[in-house]
Chains A and B, each alone.
Chain A
Amino acid sequence: MNTDKKSEAYLTFLLGDEKFAVLVNYVHEVVELNNYTRVPDAPAYMLGIFNLRGTILPLLDTRIKLGLPQKEKTNKTRILILNVRDKEDATTSIGAIVDVAREVVEIEDENIQKPDDIEGFKSTTPVTGIVNDHGDITMIMDIHRVFSVDELSHMNKTIN
């Protein structure tokens, strides 16, 4: 392994045909989707709550949150248990549904193309970089942008 170059570990997952990666540091674990309880009168991407070995976590639909079309849950559907920042620099655990959870990979920093290098890229998207491995594209996702508790609870309020 080449130790000279700075690299970090990422977990990759699929939403439809698109491949995404999140920093493994933020992923607590990956579990299968079992039962969850819908919480009424909440936005569509806030699916409900579920029981992770005695702890109650909110369950979020990553597809709906990103504005992608909804898809039936399959036996490959997984929940990523993520630690996201909330307002006071503390972290909260959430469960985010993805179509398929793939693998943990090392990605070298120099292989990540930053958004400003890419033409027509909007800085507001939750994708902070792209890895192009001979046409196999992986998008690096900033989970704090997708699932910031502050923002989610704010949106929850506006919708209601």
Chain B
Amino acid sequence: MDDNQKQFIEDILDLLNQLDEGLMQLEATPQASAPLEQVFRIMHTVKGAANMFGFEHIGELAHHLETLFDLVRDGHMQVSDDLVSITLNAFDKVRDLLQKKNLSKIEDPKELKNHLDKVKLFLERNEIAGNAIDSVSRLSAQTTFVTYLVEVYPNIKITADGNHPILYIVKDIEALGMSKVAVEVKKGKTIDHWNMILATVSTKEEIESYFLFVEQECKVIISPLAAGNLLETPAYAAKINNFLDRKITKKQLNSFFEHINNQAQKPDMSDSKDEPTPIGYQQAIIKVKKHKIDDLLNKISELVILKSQLLNVAHQTHNIALNDVAEQIESVVGQLLGVSLDISLIQIETLVTLFKRLVRDLSRSLGKKVNFISQGVDTEMDKDIIETMTQPLLHIIRNAVDHGIEPPDERKSQGKSEHGTIKLHAFRSSAFINLVISDDGKGIDKDKIINKAIKYGLINGKAQLTDDEAFNLIFHPGLTTANTISDISGRGVGMDVVKQKISELRGSIKISSSTGSGTQFYIKLPLSRSIIDGLLVKVADTQYIIPINVIERIDRIPTSLLNRKNKIQTEVMINEKPVPVLSLREQYHSEKGGPKTSDVISINVNSVIKGIAVDMIEGMMQVILKPMGDMYNDQDFISGSAILGDGAVALVLDPDRLFSRHIKKDSI
């Protein structure tokens, strides 16, 4: 395979992800023209490129699919379940072939024949049917999104921080789908009205029913804007934002979408000059080899260290001019670090496409009705972190579809909408990325987990567990709560691996769940793998960094409490509970003459509190993790090193591995 072909594969793989995204958007908003155009354009590009680089079978498949979508574009065919499935499956196979980079397989006509036949058959059937749009299975009205404008005018005085039911009803409505809300406030914080744009599968009547008990206290106007989820299309979302920011009036908004609706009904008008102008300009993108960015980051982290040294030296000289310059350098270097870290961040959009696909395919095969809603897909994350988190997140979503969301009839009998909803909400807070995955399924059965844990001897039958403690049990290896291990869950990674991966990234995960109304996973991940917020501690001459995220509490105890034979099993009463404490000094620094007191850092290791005893704590600091090289692979309880302000090197501890290393050694 030559370089051009390799480059082609990389480019096409990128395009295929966009295609998936476009197809699923098209399925959600079959009337909208933007996703259709996008799908069509990508197929065309794939076809052209494949033919040019000699992958004629891929080209042929793309050609026939393009023909299908051409029919859709010309209004001779409608977007249907089958069409989207056939297309997705065909390109899945193409992706699979390309990823394996096996030239003889790519060139083997047999590989794609099956899909090609299906596409041709589909095409024939639809051509025979001619313009008979009715022959194509229509998506039922219930499964499609409609975007509404919901206006709520309270008749009484209420404030946002009050607890009037209307406030909660508005919150409930928000959660019916993807939504954006603006609150208009009068003088004295009284709420004048809410403007909400809601893209949902719920009907107008359903939304109205929420206001049944507050009919006297408010006026509600629900007006449909257009079919489909308008918030997912950037140009429409921008228009909506303008409305919510009161830059355009309701009338302007309505006329804008009327126009869109008209256009969707008459696809022949595709040449219309009044296409919504996309917001912002097309940003130029360049592809860079990863190692170049790594090199850049390395150099900048050297600069960060030199900067600290410069500051130290400057302070000692008491030279004002020098101090000034040093401080300016500090500020610029800080910004430089921020910018360069930003370079390696990418939007989680690709991840979201994967999730949509999973939810779509899985819910179909399980006969469930599930919508996937995402919020904050433009949130950026480190590429490595995204790669590490892909499988764990897929697992959580797989579980949500498989075990969380109930079958439609069961949901109906409980008074829920037939459609379950799985929601991913991503947002950034300081140096962390937060991912909240929630579903409105049946929730985690706490008693079932506890019983299972007792059965497997993980916990004592008499133990009183808090909700947190009980839910955390699902991260225990070997505890699956599904009664029957289905084909979907219970293979590949388990929840224990999910937890382990997140800990490796120095993140955290929390679960909340209530029976009947669903489960939420709160995942917090650091923005970058290489920046660590840590506690700097000293043991003999060695400085260690303990990542802040695992630390529960810190206590100072007399060192004499630690002086026993059995190092790991030394139990110390901390917060009135016995905690096994490992003394780093006793374990690794046999030098005599430790201090009279030691600081015990309590750490949460797989939901169990354990202590690490150190000589003293020197302070909190943010450091850049540097690998120690392959030579120290076996010292895996040290995840790397960090250069401190004075040029000294501290060791970054991996508490999880530190304890498992000693448990292993003790048992030998």
Are A and B subunits of one complex?
yes
Chain A residues at the B interface, C-beta cutoff of 8 Å: 35-42, 46, 49-51, 53-58, 86, 92, 94, 149, 152-153, 156-157, 160
Residues A39 and B638 in contact, CB atoms below 8 Å apart: yes
Contacting residues, chain B, for A152 (C-beta < 8 A): 631
Question: Closest Cβ of chain B: how far from A82's Cβ, in Å?
Answer: 13
Known pairs A35-B648, A49-B649; A56 contacts B634 (CB<8 A): no
Residues B647 and A51 in contact, CB atoms below 8 Å apart: yes
Residues B649 and A53 in contact, CB atoms below 8 Å apart: no
B interface majority secondary structure: mixed
Question: Closest Cβ of chain B: how far from A72's Cβ, in Å?
Answer: 17
Task: Give the interface residue-count category, chain B.
Answer: 20 to 34
B186 contacts A by Cβ under 8 Å: no
Query: In the bound complex, how far is the Cα of B643 from the Cα of A56, in angstroms?
Result: 8
Residues A153 and B631 in contact, CB atoms below 8 Å apart: yes
Contacting residues, chain A, for B587 (C-beta < 8 A): 40
Residues A149 and B628 in contact, CB atoms below 8 Å apart: no
Residues A36 and B589 in contact, CB atoms below 8 Å apart: no
Within B284-341, the residues touching A (CB, 8 Å) are 298, 301-302, 305-306
Question: Closest Cβ of chain B: how far from A51's Cβ, in Å?
Answer: 5
Question: Closest Cβ of chain A: how far from B618's Cβ, in Å?
Answer: 15
Contacting residues, chain A, for B302 (C-beta < 8 A): 53-55
Question: Closest Cβ of chain B: how far from A93's Cβ, in Å?
Answer: 9
Task: Contacts A35-B649, A41-B635 known; list 13 others, CB within 8 Å.
Answer: A36-B649, A39-B638, A40-B587, A40-B651, A46-B632, A49-B649, A51-B648, A54-B298, A55-B298, A55-B626, A56-B641, A58-B632, A156-B633
Residues A41 and B588 in contact, CB atoms below 8 Å apart: yes
Q: Which one, B627, B630, B641, contacts A37 given CB within 8 A?
A: B641
Residues A38 and B630 in contact, CB atoms below 8 Å apart: no
Residues B633 and A40 in contact, CB atoms below 8 Å apart: no
Question: Closest Cβ of chain B: how far from A128's Cβ, in Å?
Answer: 23
Residues A58 and B648 in contact, CB atoms below 8 Å apart: no
B492 contacts A by Cβ under 8 Å: no
Task: Select the residue from A42, A49, A149 with max chain B CB neighbours within 10 A.
Answer: A49
Query: In the bound complex, how far is the Cα of B301 from the Cα of A55, in angstroms?
Result: 10
Chain B residues at the A interface, C-beta cutoff of 8 Å: 298, 301-302, 305-306, 541-543, 584, 587-589, 626-635, 637-638, 641, 643, 647-651, 661
19 contacting pairs across A/B (C-beta < 8 A): A36-B649, A37-B543, A37-B641, A37-B648, A40-B542, A40-B584, A40-B588, A40-B651, A49-B628, A49-B641, A49-B649, A51-B649, A56-B626, A56-B629, A58-B629, A58-B632, A153-B630, A156-B632, A160-B634
Query: In the bound complex, how far is the Cα of B301 from the Cα of A53, in angstroms?
Result: 11
Q: Which one, B305, B541, B632, B637, contacts A54 given CB within 8 A?
A: B305
Which residue on B lies nearest to A156, using beta carbons? B634
Residues B648 and A54 in contact, CB atoms below 8 Å apart: no
Which residue on B lies nearest to A38, using beta carbons? B542
Residues A39 and B628 in contact, CB atoms below 8 Å apart: yes
Question: Closest Cβ of chain A: how far from B657's Cβ, in Å?
Answer: 11
Q: Which one, B541, B543, B633, B661, contacts A153 given CB within 8 A?
A: B633
Task: Select the residue from B588, B631, B635 with max chain A CB neighbours within 10 A.
Answer: B631
Contacting residues, chain A, for B637 (C-beta < 8 A): 41
Residues B649 and A50 in contact, CB atoms below 8 Å apart: yes
Contacting residues, chain B, for A86 (C-beta < 8 A): 630
**Lowest 10 CB-CB distances: which A-B pairs, in order?**
A54-B302, A40-B588, A37-B649, A56-B626, A156-B634, A58-B631, A157-B634, A56-B641, A51-B649, A160-B634
Contacting residues, chain A, for B629 (C-beta < 8 A): 56-58, 92, 94, 149
Contacting residues, chain B, for A37 (C-beta < 8 A): 542-543, 641, 648-651
Residues B650 and A153 in contact, CB atoms below 8 Å apart: no
Residues A39 and B634 in contact, CB atoms below 8 Å apart: no
Contacting residues, chain B, for A57 (C-beta < 8 A): 629
Question: Closest Cβ of chain B: how far from A37's Cβ, in Å?
Answer: 4
Contacting residues, chain B, for A54 (C-beta < 8 A): 298, 301-302, 305-306, 643
Residues B630 and A92 in contact, CB atoms below 8 Å apart: yes
Residues A40 and B635 in contact, CB atoms below 8 Å apart: yes
Query: In the bound complex, how far is the Cα of B116 from the Cα of A53, in angstroms?
Result: 59
Which residue on A lies nearest to B305, using beta carbons? A54
Query: In the bound complex, how far is the Cα of B588 from the Cα of A42, in angstroms?
Result: 10
Query: In the bound complex, how far is the Cα of B630 from the Cα of A153, in angstroms?
Result: 7
Which residue on A lies nearest to B661, using beta carbons? A41
Query: In the bound complex, how far is the Cα of B635 from the Cα of A40, in angstroms?
Result: 8
Contacting residues, chain A, for B635 (C-beta < 8 A): 39-42, 156
Query: In the bound complex, how far is the Cα of B306 from the Cα of A50, in angstroms?
Result: 16
Task: Select the residue from B298, B306, B649 with max chain A CB neighbours within 10 A.
Answer: B649
Contacting residues, chain A, for B543 (C-beta < 8 A): 37
Which residue on A lies nearest to B627, using beta carbons? A56
Query: In the bound complex, how far is the Cα of B541 from the Cα of A41, in angstroms?
Result: 15
Query: In the bound complex, how far is the Cα of B630 from the Cα of A149, in angstroms?
Result: 7
Question: Closest Cβ of chain A: how far from B310's Cβ, in Å?
Answer: 13
Question: Closest Cβ of chain B: how far from A108's Cβ, in Å?
Answer: 35
Question: Closest Cβ of chain A: how far from B108's Cβ, in Å?
Answer: 31
Contacting residues, chain B, for A55 (C-beta < 8 A): 298, 302, 626
Query: In the bound complex, how far is the Cα of B649 from the Cα of A50, in angstroms?
Result: 7
Query: In the bound complex, how far is the Cα of B649 from the Cα of A39, in angstroms?
Result: 11
Task: Select the residue from A40, A42, A46 with max chain B CB neighbours within 10 A.
Answer: A40
Residues B306 and A42 in contact, CB atoms below 8 Å apart: no
Query: In the bound complex, how far is the Cα of B327 from the Cα of A108, in angstroms?
Result: 55
Question: Closest Cβ of chain B: how far from A32's Cβ, in Å?
Answer: 14
Query: In the bound complex, how far is the Cα of B628 from the Cα of A94, in angstroms?
Result: 11
Residues B630 and A42 in contact, CB atoms below 8 Å apart: no
Contacting residues, chain A, for B542 (C-beta < 8 A): 37-38, 40
Question: Closest Cβ of chain A: how far from B171's Cβ, in Å?
Answer: 50
Contacting residues, chain A, for B634 (C-beta < 8 A): 42, 153, 156-157, 160
Question: Closest Cβ of chain B: how far from A133's Cβ, in Å?
Answer: 35
Query: In the bound complex, how far is the Cα of B305 from the Cα of A156, in angstroms?
Result: 30
Residues A39 and B651 in contact, CB atoms below 8 Å apart: yes
Which residue on A lies nearest to B300, using beta carbons? A54
Which residue on B lies nearest to A40, using beta carbons? B588
Residues B631 and A46 in contact, CB atoms below 8 Å apart: yes
